[in-house]
Structure formats: C-alpha cells, structure tokens
Structure 1
Amino acid sequence: MDQRNVTRITTIHLLGFQIPQSITFLVFFLLLMMYCVTICGNLLIITLVSYSKTLQSPMYFFLSQLAATDILLATDILPNMIHTVLVKQTIMSLSVCLTQYYFCVIAESSESLLLTVMSWDRYLAICRPLHYSLKINFQVCWTLAILCWILGIFVVLIYMSTISNLQFCGPNIIDHFFCDFVPILQLSCSDNSTIQLEATIFGFILVIFPFFLIFVSYSYIIVTILKIPSITGRQKVFSTCSSHLTVVSIYYGTLVCVYLAPSSGQTQTLNKLLSLLYTVVNPMMNPIIYSLRNKELKKVVRKFIIDFLRICFSRD
C-alpha cells in the first residue's frame, strides 16, 4: 500500500461495554465504587507501610510498590471506562489512546517484575533465613524497585518508537473498554511484524520468564515447608507467603486467559470480561487479599482505624 495515499486517522471511537440502558447507572455505580475501593485500599497500604514501624521490612516495602502499580493501572483504565458506560462510547485522539496503552504497559510490566522480586524475597526468608539480612536490605529493595519501574518504562519507549512509524488508516472503532495491543494493531494498515516480534520477545522477558522464576522459587519454598516437622510451624511459615501466592495465581491466571489462550473460540464480550479481571478487579483485590490474609497487616489496619476514629471523636 502506498503510504502517501493513506489517510491517517486522528480520532478513536472506544465502544466499551454495550449494556442495556436500564442498568447503565447500576454499572456506573459499581465501577465507581470499584475505583474508590482500589484507590483507597492501595493508598492505605502505601500509607501504613510508610508510617508504621512494625511494617518496615522488605516484604511490605515491595507491597507498597505493588500498590503504586495498581493505582497507576486503575487510574489509567477506570475513569475513561466509567465515562464510556455513561455516554455509550468515548471519542479520543489517537495520541491519547496510545498514551493509555503505554501507561498500561508500564503498570503491567512493573507489576510482573515486582511479583518476581517479592517471590525472591520470600524464597530468601524461608529457604535461606541465615543469609536473608545479608542479601537484602532497604538499599537493595530500592534498587530492585527502581529497576522494575525503569524496565517497564524502557519497554514503553521501544513500543513508542515502533508504533510511531505505523500508519493508522482505520476503521477508527475499537470494540473494547480500553486501548489494548491487539485492537490498536487492528487499526494499522502498515506492516506490523516488527512490533509483533517485539511484543513476543518482551512477553517472554516480562511475563513467561518471571513466571518461571516465581514457579521455581515456590517449588523450593514448598519443599522447605514440607520439611518442617510440626503442622503449626508449616502453617505459620506458609502464612507469610500465602497472600503473595494468591495474588500471583490470579494475576498470571488472567493474563494466560487473555493473551495465551486460543482466541478463536472467544467472543469479544468474553475477551472484554477477561481483560476486566486483570485491569480492574486485580488492582482492587490485591490490597484486600493482603489485608485479609496477613495478621500483622490486619493489626496495623485495626490500630490505624481506631486511632483515626479516636482523633475524629476527640475533635468533636
């Protein structure tokens, strides 16, 4: 195709979920509540980890970084999604659409790497407790966290340079609730083999390889736990990593369903629902899972609420 004769599209029509008018405000209210719970829950995690002396450990530091990625992802997806529910479609510029996808990649890439680092932290704490304090401290934690964010941004920079060379000639309609990789490529009339190759390579580096490392880490952790003679001791040790294991299972389970499962038998609605799990539900559930399954965090949350209420009533 002669690139000089192609009319480049400048606006995108995002269709979102096509829901009946009768339940529009119900869906709007549910999504708004999910966004509020996501932001408040993850902000609470960050606040507690920052100011509570009992949560000054590498595990909770990485948890606060994970909460930051969840806030970024939810803020990138949900406000525009809520708007789309109300007006039935959203018209945005191509640059805004691509920017939404870029921030989604940063959040997802950083979260995948952080989950891997957290599994390494649990491996050292359970399988190599004598070496834990020597190999991991807050300087190491900050270095690893910054590397996770930098790698996520680095991936986006490569995507930006490749996508900027594509021609987008339509149709300019995306039947999705956010600008994802496949819908964006469907708008292009250029050869997209290069960016598909990049996506495959980065998918292996940022999803498949981290999942393999997490699997290996937990294989050693499970073997170590099984060697503990008492059932109470096993339960106590396993409780320190059960929350992380639950989050990992949900996160990678939804990614596999969306990107690795055969798409030929999936309807567009099913694809949207699966994408909803890792872009909206996961960021909301992560702080809830950690709060419900972690006794130390539950104690700090309870103390925080009691102190907050005491301050409020003392002012009255």
Structure 2
Amino acid sequence: MNASAWRDPSVLVAHTAMAEQLLPHLEPLVTARRAAFLDDLPRSELAEVEVLVGHHFPERSLARLPGLRWLHLTGTGTDHLAAAGLAPGTLVTNSARVPVEPVAEYALSALLMLLKEFPTLTARPQRRAWHTSTATLLSGSTVLVVGAGRIGRAVIRKATALGARCIAVNRTGEREVPGADRTVGAGRLAEVATSADHLVCCLPATAGTRRLVDGKVLAALRPGAALVNVGRAATVDGDALRRALETGALRGALLDVHDIEPLPADDPRWHTPGLVVSPHCAFAFPGEPAAVARVFHDNLTDLRVGRTPRDTVPVDLRPG
C-alpha cells in the first residue's frame, strides 16, 4: 500500500473506557473518527472501517471488518487477535511504550507493599502489638525479573536504584540486560530461582511462557519470597501459587492480571491468604490517552511517508 493511501483513512475508535478521551487527541491527523462498540454499528458502516483503534475484541468481532487494513492497539497484548478473527496480512501496531514507567512503578510499589506488610497493616481489624513487624528490606535482596522487555528493564532500573540486585530472565539469556547482575534464559528459571528473594513477572502470553512460573520455580525461591505479576495471567501457575501462599512458602503475592476479568465475586482468589488482587490497573495514569494518541500519530506519520510503522508487532494467528 503506497503512502498516499493513508492520507485520510476511515478510523474507528472502539474502546469502552478511553474512546471519548482519545478522540480529541487523534483529531490533528485523522478526520473520519467515531467512538463506538463494534456491535453498535450496522454492517454497512463496519465495511467502511480501514483503521481500528482499540484494546480487546470479542471472538470473531474483527471478522466483521472486511476493509480493515490497520489495527492499532491501545495496549500491548496480541494473544486474543486470532480468536477475534483478524485477517492475515493486517498491519498491527501497539502502544507498548506507553505503560512502561507506570507498570514498572506499580510493580515496585507492589513489591515494597508486600515486604513492608501493608496488606496486613491496613486490614480490619488492624490492632496488634506495638513494635511488632516481620517487614524486610528490598535493599540488599535479589529480585528475579522474569521477562526482561521494556517493562522488565524499567523494573530492574528502579529496583537497583533502591539497592536491590536483579537477575534478568529473557528467552535465551544470550544478550545481557543492562543493570542486571546476570542474565539467564528461560530454561534456567528454576535453577536461578534458588538465588532469588523475590520474583517480578513481566512476561507476555505466548506458547513458550504459559505457566513458566510453575510450582517448581515457586518452591525454589528463598523462604519469605514475595511475587508480583504485572505481565499476563497465564504465565503464572495459579494453582501452584495458591498452594504456596496457603502453606506459607511465600510471604505474599500481588496479581494485577487474571484469567477472568473482572474477577468474579465468588472466586477463591479473593480469600487466598497473602494474595492481593489488583484490578488490572498497573498501566493507568492521567496522561495515558494523550500518550496512546502520540504513538498512533507516530505510526500514521510513518505510513504517510512510506516507512514501516515503528510500533509494528508480529501476530500469531494460528488457532489455540
């Protein structure tokens, strides 16, 4: 597709929470824009959509857009797009650079909260003997950062600034991660977990990362370890985590991601000892819509001058 084809595309913003905030920031570069759920539009209007901006799409919903040429994701994950019916060859970009600092800050805040006993201090009733605490230090500890992409590297920068040592885990371990004491491949995760006081998971959901943090890894962590997951829910074995918390093998855990969202009121995770349920909000900050719009603008500018969009991501559309 030549650059001139992107001068005035038909753009649909379909985002339950961000659409109205996002639209004003898109106006300088696009003229055709609407905010709607896909189900709100008749087939004739859906057929006109060339560019879609959104986050998560129900099963087969994207198959209703026969003219779609470009999908820009306001978030990062692409693992749902095959089921959503995305056509092969569709350009996909994401906003992965937007949540890096917010999520890294959230992850580090969560880790500090667990180490300083905030969940039990703020519980009701909270009376306990004065001057009693089992709080521990982040400084001097070793944090295992599983998933050393943009967010994982930001976690490492922040944790080391507070005096922690970090072990970075990436796919192969062949490329050293700046700031980490050492870098290892995912195949050595259980081995290096024996050297870790705490674990922060920042993994994407892929066939290779499903339940990568399993019972063997959790059992290998040092006694009193805390776990934080700001990656994808499927990357941590939920049953193994629950057992580790119930037996006291782990100090505590915070999950910002869940296999079912919102988490049902009767889900046992609400009552798992030591588990803090966070409502998938690590990415949030006031400037998020404007930042997402800037990423969209960058990629549209690339298209208009004939460059490959800088935030293009590969998508696996194989079933399952």
Q: TM-score range by the shorter chain?
A: under 0.3
Q: Greater strand percent: which structure?
A: 2
**Given the two structures, how large is their TM-score scaled by the length of structure 1?**
0.26
Q: Greater helix percent: which structure?
A: 1
**Given the two structures, how large is their TM-score scaled by the length of structure 2?**
0.25
